[in-house]
């Protein structure tokens, strides 16, 4: 497996990922996919390492695929669930992370409803001088890097299963449709897909797609900022770290092909791929939509709407899906169009690749 270009200890954001790093992840994931096609789907690459899955927010795909990925690499896993943990007795996030450090964790996979928590834990590990890698498994509205990397792997391995690489998307048009405002998946995908040279067209209602996504790019200081009212809840900001620590390099989105549309048709016109996003009702602090029915009528992905796209268009959705809202139910299950199952399958290989790259330099 390739590791030559890998020097990154933590994976917190794709904002500063280089083309070489994307290609290293893609090629390592292709090797992992080959391992997963064998009769014995397990290699000893991370034997002796401990990976802690610290999920402070619910998850099905990300949590399970990180756990399976770790097991396929022969690592030992520790699984934490906020509701049954000592967070309920007042323990802080950083003290929780330090507890898992004291048990010998070599890597921590962290999901939290607030942007910046994985970064804060990574900074604490660095301050303590310990070689613990932190992976962001989704933080608030900020980023979900492993999701965007598995999306990238799904797309590029469709185009070249033997040699998936970033530049395969250079001349493609990709539409991202729906609740962009609240989506960490969209933000990470904007970084990776525009880095490939693809044309990325965002479409959604004005309440869910502020114009500044196009004017300032995803690097504006406004994104990733959560709702202050959430402070003080279990798993909140009692450690005193600040979301202002999240800094996205504004300049890097410049000169990339990113467009904003409040109507869906221009985004879909001749698109090669369509990524539709879940309406994140849990993150909406006001009534941003007239009704789910009207949303589906105006922005839902249907067979009729796909006629605007290139022949052979494929549809992605990170899941979980609100069937019949973001995408019509029959289309979701139609493997001629839908890549949703492939995305889930890719998730194991890509998360194996990330754990391998971050963990293989560690002495056991």
The contact set with ligand CP (CB under 6 A) reads 59-62, 138, 147, 318-320
Residue 318 near residue 341 (C-beta atoms within 8 A):
no
> In the chain, what are the helix, strand and coil shares in percent, each to the nearest 5?
40, 15, 45
Name which of 57 and 199 has its Cβ closer to ligand CP.
57
* Planar angle of CA 35, 65, 168, nearest 5 degrees: 65
Spatial distance between the Cα atoms of 261 and 188, rounded to a whole number of angstroms: 19
CB of 341 to ligand CP, least distance (A): 13
Spatial distance between the Cα atoms of 163 and 154, rounded to a whole number of angstroms: 12
CB of 320 to ligand CP, least distance (A): 6
Name which of 61 and 261 has its Cβ closer to ligand CP.
61
CB of 68 to ligand CP, least distance (A): 13
CB of 7 to ligand CP, least distance (A): 27
Residue 224 near residue 141 (C-beta atoms within 8 A):
yes
Name which of 101 and 177 has its Cβ closer to ligand CP.
177
CB of 38 to ligand CP, least distance (A): 26
Name which of 14 and 101 has its Cβ closer to ligand CP.
14
Other beta carbons less than 10 A from residue 297's beta carbon = 10
* Planar angle of CA 171, 335, 192, nearest 5 degrees: 35
Residue 261 near residue 201 (C-beta atoms within 8 A):
yes
Name which of 94 and 174 has its Cβ closer to ligand CP.
174
Residue 121 near residue 347 (C-beta atoms within 8 A):
no
Q: How far is CA 225 from CA 116, 140, 142, in A?
A: 9, 8, 7
CB of 168 to ligand CP, least distance (A): 23
Name which of 206 and 320 has its Cβ closer to ligand CP.
320
């Amino acid at each position: 497996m390739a590791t030559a270009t890998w020097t990154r200890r933590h994976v917190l954001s794709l904002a500063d990922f280089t083309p070489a790093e994307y290609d290293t992840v893609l090629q390592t994931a292709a090797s992992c996919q080959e391992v997963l096609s064998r009769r014995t789907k397990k290699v000893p690459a991370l034997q002796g390492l401990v990976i802690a899955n610290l999920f402070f927010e619910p998850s099905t795909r990300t949590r399970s695929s990180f756990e399976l990925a770790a097991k396929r690499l022969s690592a030992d896993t520790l699984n934490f669930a906020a509701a049954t943990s000592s967070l309920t007795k007042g323990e802080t996030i950083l003290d929780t992370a330090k507890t898992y450090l004291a048990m010998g964790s070599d890597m921590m996979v962290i999901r939290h409803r607030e942007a910046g928590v994985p970064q804060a834990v990574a900074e604490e590990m660095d301050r303590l001088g310990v070689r613990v890698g932190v992976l962001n498994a989704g933080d608030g509205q900020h980023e979900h890097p492993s999701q965007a990397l598995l999306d990238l792997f799904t797309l590029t391995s469709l185009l070249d299963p033997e040699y998936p690489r970033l530049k395969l998307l250079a001349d493609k048009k990709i539409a991202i449709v729906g609740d962009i405002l609240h989506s960490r998946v969209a933000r990470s995908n904007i970084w990776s897909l525009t880095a490939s040279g693809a044309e990325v067209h965002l479409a959604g209602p004005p309440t869910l797609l502020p114009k500044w996504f196009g004017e300032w790019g995803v690097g504006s200081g406004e994104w990733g900022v959560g709702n202050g009212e959430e402070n003080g809840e279990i798993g909140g900001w009692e450690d005193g770290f600040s979301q202002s620590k999240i800094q996205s390099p504004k300049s890097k989105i410049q000169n990339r092909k990113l467009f904003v549309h409040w109507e869906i048709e221009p985004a879909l016109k001749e698109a090669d791929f369509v990524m539709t996003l879940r309406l994140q009702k849990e993150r909406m602090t006001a009534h941003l939509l007239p009704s789910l029915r009207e949303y589906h009528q105006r922005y839902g992905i249907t067979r009729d709407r796909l006629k605007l796209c290139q022949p052979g268009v494929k549809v992605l959705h990170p899941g979980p899906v609100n069937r019949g809202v973001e995408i019509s139910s029959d289309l979701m299950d139609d493997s001629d169009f839908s890549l949703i199952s492939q995305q889930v399958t890719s998730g194991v290989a890509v998360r194996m690749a990330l754990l391998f790259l971050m963990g293989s330099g560690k002495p056991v």
